[in-house]
Amino acid sequence: MKKTVVLYPGLAVSHFVPMLQLADVLLEEGYAVVVPFIDPTEKGDIALAAVIDRVAASKPSVVFHVLPRTEDSPCTFVHDSEFIVRYLEIVGRYSQHLHDFLLSMPPGSVHALIVDMLSIEVLDVTTKLGIPAYAFFPPNASALAVSVQAASLHSEGQQPSFGELGDAPLNIHGVPPMPASHLNAEMLDDPGSATLKATVNMFRRIQEANGILVNTFASIEPRAVSALSDPRSFPKMPPVYCIGPLVTGKGSQGTEKKHECLAWLDEQPEQSVVFLCFGSTGAGNHSEEQLKEIATGLERSGHRFLWVVRAPPHDDPEKPFDSRADPDLDALLPAGFLERTGGRGRVVKLWAPQVEVLHHAATGAFVTHCGWNSVLEGIIAGVPMLCWPLYAEQKMNKVFMVEEYGVGVELVGWQQGLVKAEEVEAKVTLVMESEEGKLLRARVSKHKEGAAMAWKDGGSSRAAFAQFLSHAGNATGRG
């Protein structure tokens, strides 16, 4: 009987997709793979449901199982200050269904369960059943190091409120000094709030797993990787396995035909186009004022560009915001902008095939929100980045990208809530034309080589994954 690895993914595209990249490696190693998951349509996430359908269709050897719906009222996920609390509540309501599903599998067949970091409370289930459980951390090792230490400082009372520190630098083992304001918003919440308590508890419990699988590769962040294995800094940390980069491969995003923007890129000179894309959620939508500043800066720079534009958020709390609403480009962008720049630029509504664009020979720079999946995609493609963090751990990622990895420059206007046209023009010119831009390109090319080596025979990530499988074979559920 084949040993089975169970993947229990998170309810977000940025968590689901990288975890499912593990399925292919597990199948190659001779394991069966089973993926129980919560139906995302219960929370109205049609986009994630479509991604799951596409991934399932591309992996016929993987068994996907939708957990039965709970009898509780359907959950609603709004990305506000209470998001993490509601998320943990809905996952908790499915714990019994996951328990029953695992119990229905043949005794002794489950080699390990890999659980998304946001669903870490299911450790209560795996411990009860004696199944080794490993946490999957989609961001990087540096973010893990920061978050665990910040949670520990709070729970021990050494730092009851990070929010009061403002931009005061934090000295955290394994990473460069960073402003306290760059922590995840949940960690900056008021002391005693349900959100802060839930976040601190999550990073406490993640250390109760048999190990933690991180979507990174050792050569890009050696300082953080070394720190996480040092019991003097992390006395409760289980083994950490750097098994990245786990990203969607080139040409595997499920598009039926070649996107029109790729045909346009075919006509452009090598490394001549600036690509601007800010993630797949409504949190990445810019205001109308910001869109105009970007447009003006791009026009003044004189460089070719490919820009993914989404409709701005509105301020009416009574009106639901559709992050996929079709943007009116003529109304949102400066008058005549599209006509004046039509010879050297393309504006795409809502979505572009990011991986294919980044790998295209014409792409010379990437303006990104610093989401970790996007950062990895930029590195793998060897494209220098302009860093414009928006939410989640992206502010921390910006610090790592600029000060640790050396693969990007910061658009500092985000800290005041508006990146001006002058800065867009100046930073685009810097990356595309200056000696500093050439150095950025050289450094990202070096990390591209490191990423390529990580999963080859003898590479660090392949070795770490083998260590994880061996460890799981000798482990039992931790209590």
What are the pLDDT digits (tens) for 346-392? 999 999 999 999 999 999 999 999 999 999 999 999 999 999 999 99
Residues 54, 77 within the same domain: yes
Dist CA 188 CA 426 (whole Å):
32
Q: pLDDT band at residue 317, thresholds of 50, 70 and 90?
A: very low
Inside any domain, residue 238:
yes
Query: Three-state DSSP class for 66?
Result: strand
Residue 145 near residue 173 (C-beta atoms within 8 A): yes
What is 16-39 written as a DSSP string? HHHHHHHHHHHHHTT-EEEEEE--
CATH of the domain at 182: 3.40.50.2000
Collapse the DSSP code of 439 into the 3-class scheme (helix H, G, I; strand E, B; otherwise coil) and give the result: helix
> Do 409 and 274 lie in a common domain?
yes
User: 88 φ, ψ to 5°?
Assistant: -65, -30
State the average pLDDT over residues 171-186.
95
Mean confidence (pLDDT) of the chain = 92
pLDDT for the residue 54: 93
Q: Is the pLDDT of residue 191 over 70?
A: yes
Give the β-pairing of 240-242 and 63-66. Answer: unpaired
- Judge if 75 and 17 occupy the same domain: yes
Does residue 420 sit in the same domain as residue 458? no
CA atoms within 13 A on the CB side of 5: 25
pLDDT for position 335: 97
Structure tokens at 155: 């729970």
Question: Does one domain contain both 170 and 201?
Answer: yes
Query: Looking at the domain assignment, is residue 409 inside a domain?
Result: yes
Residue 113 bridge partners (DSSP): 6, 133
Q: Does residue 79 lie within any of the structural domains?
A: yes
Identify the band that residue 95 occupies on the pLDDT scale cut at 50, 70 and 90: very high
Q: What percent of the chain has pLDDT over 70?
A: 92
**Domain limits for position 358:** 260-452
Amino acid residing at 23: A
**Which two structure tokens, joined as six digits, stand for 387?**
């860093």
**If you ran DSSP here, which 8-state letter would residue 100 be given?**
H
Q: How confident is the model at residue 478 (pLDDT cuts 50, 70, 90)?
A: low
Amino acid, single-letter form, for residue 143:
A
Model pTM above 0.85: yes
**What per-residue confidence (pLDDT) applies to 265?**
98
Q: What pairs with residue 306 in β-bridges?
A: 275, 346
- What is the model's pLDDT at position 255? 47
Residues 6+ apart with CB under 8 A from 53: none
Say how far apart CA 224 and CA 104 lie, in whole Å: 40
Whole-angstrom CA distances from 345 to 294, 340, 349, 369, 427 are 13, 9, 13, 20, 17
Distance CA 190, CA 119 (A): 23
Q: Which residues pair with 385 in a beta bridge?
A: 366, 408
Sheet holding 363-368, edge to edge: 345-349, 304-309, 273-277, 363-368, 385-387, 408-410
Can you give the pLDDT at residue 283? 64
Residue 34 pLDDT more than 50? yes
d(CA 260, CA 232) in angstroms, rounded, equals 54
* Interior angle at CA 9, CA 206 and CA 220, nearest 5: 65
Q: Give how many domains the chain has, as a whole number.
A: 2
How distant, in Å, are the alpha carbons of 20, 109, 197, 399, 473 from that of 105? Answer: 20, 7, 35, 44, 17
Model confidence over 253-293: pLDDT tens digits? Answer: 444 578 999 999 999 999 999 999 998 766 678 999 999 99
39-90 pLDDT, tens digit each:
988 767 788 899 999 999 999 999 999 999 887 655 555 666 688 898 888 8
- Secondary structure letter of residue 180 according to DSSP: G
Position 479 scores a pLDDT of 41
**Distance (Å, rounded) from C-alpha 40 to C-alpha 59?**
19
The pair phi, psi for residue 350, each rounded to 5°, is 70, -50
Verify that 164 and 275 share a domain, yes or no. no
Tokens at residue 319, please?
């009106």
The SS3 assignment for 147 reads helix
The pLDDT of residue 65 is 97
Q: Is residue 203 within 8 Å of 231, Cβ to Cβ?
A: no
Lowest-confidence range among 6-10, 91-95, 381-385?
A: 91-95
Question: pLDDT value at position 325?
Answer: 78
Structure-model confidence comparison of residues 204 and 76, the more confident one: 204
Q: Is residue 255 part of a domain?
A: no
Q: How far apart are CA 299 and CA 338, in angstroms?
A: 10
- pLDDT score of 272: 98
Look at residue 348 and tell me if it is in a domain: yes
Does one domain contain both 212 and 333? no
What ranges make up the beta strands (E) of 231-362? 240-242, 273-277, 304-309, 345-349
pLDDT digits (tens, 9 = 90+) for 451-466: 999 999 999 999 999 9
Q: Is the pLDDT of residue 322 over 60?
A: no
36 and 53 both lie in a single domain: yes
Q: What is the pLDDT of residue 81?
A: 67
Query: H helices of 211-346, where?
Result: 222-228, 260-266, 288-301, 329-332, 337-341
Name 205's Cβ contacts closer than 8 Å, sequence gap at least 6.
120, 121, 123
Q: 392 and 472 share a domain?
A: no
Q: Are residues 173 and 92 in the same domain?
A: yes
Q: Are residues 363 and 390 in the same domain?
A: yes
CB 386, CB 414: distance < 8 Å:
no
Q: Is 461 a domain residue?
A: yes
> Does residue 329 sit within a domain?
yes
> Which pLDDT value is given to residue 257?
78
Same domain, 203 and 77: yes
Cβ atoms of 140 and 221 within 8 Å: the answer is yes
pLDDT at 106: 94
Assess if residue 254 is contained within a domain.
no
